[in-house]
Chains A and B, each alone.
Chain A
Amino acid sequence: MKKRVEYLITTGGLTVLYLVIMLLIVVGVLNGYYVGVIIAIGINIIVASSLNLATGFLGQLALGHAGFMAIGAYGAAHLGKYLMAVLVMPDFIKGIIVLVSCLLFGGILAAIAGLLIGIPSLRLRGDYLGIVTLGFGEIIRISIFNIEAIGGARTVLGIPKLVGITQIFILVAIVLAALYLLVRSRHGRAIISIREDEIAAEAVGVPTTFYKVYGFAISAFFAGIAGGTLAFYQGLIDPKKFTFMFSVEIFIIVVLGGMGSFTGTVIAAILLGVMNELLHAVDNWRMVIYAVVLIAMMIFRPKGLMGTYEFSLVKVVKDYIAKRKNQKTT
């Protein structure tokens, strides 16, 4: 099958999925509350898949993704507020331009932070790197609390609400596609080889230090985009959101879904998103239940829900065609 056909199948599948969701909204099956839940899940998918790149594919324990998200959120929000006031053009076009440019800006800020933290700390391994990234996340949070110019400890208000169900759908599709394409390239192979065996990777010509920083910065970039998306969806930023526990929640999504599977991350994000809503009544016990789920997972399926398996619509179609051919010949 030609590559072009394969891309068309994937795009077609996504379009159908989008139309189904829109239809359910128009018919009234999904009300505003459900749409809110779906958007929250979408943002979690973006940030968790970005963490999966650093943890699942590159193999580096990173516990500070809430920090990168916060940087992206603040960068995107403040630039967005400024641009909305300055630019003069039709609202629809202005919305798109502001959204795209601000998300990129937030992502790039987060990526720069990722470089700054990555270059000195990626010589560390395992637990040590985890502790450094954890500390970094806290530094970001406390810094934001103390910088009055960007809002300090107060909630940042007046951010344009530019993200709805359509935008989130497109963003999730773009981010997942970008990560998927990245992983299936020479860069992706270099990243995975570092997870598998750093010494062997270096011995067959992979510049491991470069690729660790590279993978970490790209991971931070997409986490920043997730942060910006969150800000433009809520129309406000609550600095108290980006705590260590939030980083852990993202981490749990990755571990549950499977380190090294974006499909798993999507499924786990949906499962935990739905579970979150069902557990509102027992909010105090939420983290306890998370912990129990995680322990059960480690005992019964330590690889995560999907391991490293990736769902592919193209593969399903191919298998179906092959099956049909078999039936015809026999």
Chain B
Amino acid sequence: MLPPTIDARDVTIRFGSLTAVNRVSLTVAPGEVFGLLGPNGSGKTTLIRGLCGLVPLAEGKAIVLGRDVATESERVRAQIGYMSQKFSLYEDLTTRENIEFYSGIYGLSPAEAKARSEELMELTGVAPYLDQYAGRLSGGWKQRLALVCALLHRPRLIFLDEPTAGIDPVARRDLWDLLFRLAAEGISLVITTHYMDEAERCARVGYIYLSNLLVLGTPHELKQMPGVTPPGARWLEIYNADSANLLLRLRSLPGVLQATIFGQSIHALVREGCRNADLGLSQARVVETEPSLEDVFVTISRMQTEKK
């Protein structure tokens, strides 16, 4: 078995008296798509910066691509790609000029740069936009260009900080197809996102809340966590014509622990012994279901807040 791409143990990052990341341990395997979730300001981006060696670790140790980030951050950075949540290439430069700049920055020889950029253009399809200013590209194409620039030096690990925020669904799906092709080549991907459907696509997911990594596992494992579903309680999918009014009524009932609308249906957690008739659901179509990832994160966030 290959050694892990990332091996972080008790990583703690502090800014003065503020602890931004508290004792986070995780591993990412080669070719793994790892999702990092959590509310804004929970410490996701800081953790990524710590794993790149851009902010010093107050405690703990992180080995990335076989090197300690505390002592060899420059060598680590030479082997990782990074795509930030904001488009961070030069808008007044053309696609080609951006690619040439990053080829230079990563120390590629002209021949290498040419071969690699042709390869990546085939992968991403940015070739028709080579002579356009990057600022004029649409959101999806900007992200593809950013990906090309992040991949030029053949990194074995890529950090993507909310890569799909604000781009349309088609471009989003195309980007994910691309990411899976990279993972198939053995590149590890660490992705932060707020989209639950994206979290479901990840091999494993970590959830960070208030600087702590609360849970870590495959989406399936997380849904089976005992804390998410209290003993005896059930998750129901309720289909009814007037779901808005039904939701208000359900929320007022003592037997209903949680209820929320998903499109045409209501997603609810009900206590043991509560029959559909008790809830006034004789008319509705009710299907038993498993918790969604959103249910998992909402529940464990609440549990964490109540503990304090």
A, B: real partners: no
Chain B residues near A (Cβ < 8 Å) = none
